[in-house]
Structure 1
Amino acid sequence: MIKIYHNPRCSKSREGLSILEESGKEFEIIDYMKTHVSENELNELIKKLNINPIDLVRKNEEIWKQNFKDKKLTDKKIVKAMADNPKLIERPIVMNENKAVIGRPPVLIKDIL
């Protein structure tokens, strides 16, 4: 099952959702701003994305700048920061079985459909 980790307030996330809708494939929308994404889920996504946790962080968010930017953080603490502050999670993320992609730009989503 295809899943999109979606923030409806984000234009790139809305573009990613449109790509999925146009594909005609079945998918699940996870509004991670309303539905808590656990540290375990984030770790699974990070593994499927084949990136380091810091690469999933929106570093221009005020929460990051004020609370985390200049600190030495372990991967575990970075994941916890994202779980506690979902606004820090890069978006959209689309997962299809064992593959995942950050839709920046949204056209990258087509690569895993």
Structure 2
Amino acid sequence: YSMRAGSLCGSVAAQAVARRDVSGRALSRYVRLWNREFYWQYRMGRASLQTLAGMKDTDIDRLVKGISGKRLISGGSFARKAVFAAAATALSRPRTLLDLAFNLMQG
């Protein structure tokens, strides 16, 4: 993420300098581009970490055992990949989905 975010930032900054407009409005384009590209991946990753942090070791062990050897990644959009992985996870530990949804809503 950091290399791609740096590339976005550099492009926006270079365009702003070339246009001689380094105002907050001109540079805010970076935030829009970052949100379009990374927002949901970041939110899902953050919620996943919060979910794992709230689990007991035995629950994590059971989850890992349940998903080991299973295909967790599918093709398609990020949303499709998330749903596919969630379905596989739910078979091992259904509560994980509730915890994840709660953490997503928390922001």
Q: TM (normalized to structure 2)?
A: 0.27
The higher radius of gyration belongs to: 2
Considering fraction of residues, name the structure with more helix: 2
Higher RCO structure (Cα 8 Å, ≥6 apart): 1
Q: TM (normalized to structure 1)?
A: 0.26
Considering fraction of residues, name the structure with more strand: 1
